[in-house]
Structures are given as structure tokens and as C-alpha cells.
Amino acid sequence: MSASTSFADSIVTPAGIDSLGCLADSLHKSHELRRPDLAFYRKRVDQEQVSQVRTDASDRGFLVGVSMSPQHRRSIFRGRQGSHHDFNRGGIYIRDFSEDYRADIHGAFDFLLVELPRAFFEQSGQDRRGRIPGLKTVTGLYDPVLEHLAHALAPALARPDEASMLFVDQIGVAIGTHVMQRYGGARAPRGARGGLSRLHEERAKQMLMEKVKGNVSIPEIARECNMSASYFLRAFKESTGQTPHQWLMAQRVQRAREFLRDTELPLAEVAIACNFYDQSHFSRVFSQVVGTSPGNWRRHSRG
């Protein structure tokens, strides 16, 4: 994954401790994917041991964790007082980075985590006076929505070079919006009646097409249209019937059809020409959109 400047790049941690306060040597899996407005993590320990997590208070915002594995216990300490919490698959926690945090995790665990910085709440327009809405402190509560979104996001963290960052952004915005509404008391925004204006729709599509391999963020396009990321996603789908990721893939498939019909280029070269990651990615997306493989479509298109 190419390096990029983001809100999390300036985080400084002691040697041997990662940005979430985990002992790096104890982790059997540690993935990080940083976007301009959000950061995503996957942390896993396979051995039955006690893992310690500790972070000092900071202004990083909030951390949302979703358990991807069943049955482990977390002991959280505030001063000398400790509380014990059991997690099953789909159990979540939300913690505020503005508070010191110390916890012992008993046994193997696997978490997908999303860091929501303060800027995310400000850009969402939930507080017109610029204040960050507080989130409930949640530990071990089952949340089926976040469980589903975490599993949809997991492959992108494992293979970021093959992932669509547009898709990652869409999932991230969905997670942040759900958390704000369910655990922060934010009001659900009104529907995007009428969708985007013609000018905003044209500008959004232009930005999507100009960026190679979808290397543009949803918040970046939303800011260009002077709206929050969550509102932009709803308005774009209202206007086009598709999410930005779906729309961009459809444009690439349409271009690929022209190459398949009008040229003799091998499938691998068509994939490159149409900004797919490789032939496998091209074949998978083409089959999902069209209902048949590129090779079959080429043969039938020529009679």
C-alpha cells in the first residue's frame, strides 16, 4: 500500500507498542489501512495468554472495535478499579481516546477496529457549533450491523493493494454513521430528495474517472460537493441508482466491452487498459456486472 499523509501519521508510540497500545511482539496478525479521514485495523492473538493494551489520553477521537472471534474476556481498569467483560463474535466496544485506557485481554482474540477522528464528526455536520457529540462507552454489546460491516471490510485490510479504496471509504462512512446514530444520539439525516444537482453529479463522476484505480476518497468528493460524506453517498445513489464504487466499476466494464468487441487484445491487457488490478480482478468484476466471463462475452459478441 502506498504511503499517504493522514491524521494518524503523526502518532508517536513507545518502542514495541503499536498505535493502539498493543504489544507488537504478541500480535499474530496486525493490519493497518489509513485513509485521509479514517483508519482501519485488524489485530489478532492466537495463543491463550493475557495481552495488555494501554494508551494515554489524546485527542484522536474514538475507537470502535468489533470482535471477529468468539469467547474471550477483557478486564478494563480505571485507577485501581477493574471491570470484567465477556466478548462473543460480533461483540463491540467503543472507547474515547481522550481518556487513559488500560485493559487485560484474556485468551485468543481477533478484532477489526475503526478509528473515528474528531474531524469525522465535524464533517458529518451533526453539531453545527463544532462540538463533538459524545458516544456511549460500550463494552461487549452485540451489534449485528457492525458485525456485518466488519466482515465486509476484512478482505481489504488483508489485501489492501487489491482493494478498492472507494469501497473501503463507503464501509467506513457507514460504520461511522451507524455509531453516531445508535451510540451518540445523532439524528438520522433527511433523505437526499432529488439526489445531486447536475453540476455536483458531473463533478463527482469526473473525479471518479480521473483517479486511477479509484484512488480518491469519498470525503474528498463530498467536500468538493459541499456536503458530508454520508449525505453525498445517499445523494449519489439517488441520482445514479448505484454507489460510487458500483458506478465506477460499471464504467470500467463498459470500456472493457469495447476493447473485447473491437480489438484482439489479450484479457490481461484489457484489464490493464481499463484500470483493473489484474486479469483475475477484471474477470471477477466483469462476471458480477455482466453475468458471464469476459472470454464468453467476447465470443458471443462476435456471433
Residue 13 identity (one-letter amino acid): T
Same domain, 30 and 114: yes
DSSP conformation class of 302 = T
By mean pLDDT, which of 13-17, 27-31, 108-112, 135-139 is the weakest? 13-17
Q: Are residues 101 and 225 in the same domain?
A: no
Alpha carbon 174 to chain centroid, angstroms: 8
Grid cell listed for 243? 454507489
pLDDT of residue 9: 46
Banded model confidence at residue 302, pLDDT cuts 50, 70, 90: confident
- As a whole number, mean pLDDT of residues 122-146 equals 74
> pLDDT by residue (tens digit) across 62-75?
999 999 998 888 89
- Considering only residues 268 and 80, tell me which one the structure prediction assigns the higher pLDDT: 268
Domain span at residue 202 reads: 198-241
The burial of 172, by beta-carbon neighbours within 10 Å (0-12 exposed, 13-18 middle, 19 or more buried), is given as: buried
Give 17 or 67, the one with higher predicted confidence.
Answer: 67
Instruction: Answer with the residue of higher pLDDT: 176 or 119.
Output: 176
Task: Let me know if residue 122 belongs to a domain.
Answer: yes
Q: Specify if 46 maps to a domain.
A: yes
Which CATH number characterizes residue 262's domain? 1.10.10.60
Phi and psi at 194, nearest 5°, equal 80, -5
Q: Are 102 and 178 found together in one domain?
A: yes
Is the same domain home to 118 and 228? no
Domain match, 174 and 39 both: yes
162 and 29 in a common domain: yes
Cell numbers at 267, concatenated = 484479457
Counted domains in the chain = 3
pLDDT at position 154: 95
Half-sphere exposure of 48 (CA within 13 A, CB side): 1
CA distance linking residue 152 with residue 113, whole number of Å: 13
For residues 232 and 254, membership in a common domain is answered with no
Give the strand order in the sheet containing 101-106.
50-55, 101-106, 72-78, 81-87
Q: What is the pLDDT of residues 250-275, one digit of tens each?
A: 999 999 999 999 999 999 999 999 98
The reply to whether 144 falls in a domain is yes
pLDDT score at 79: 73
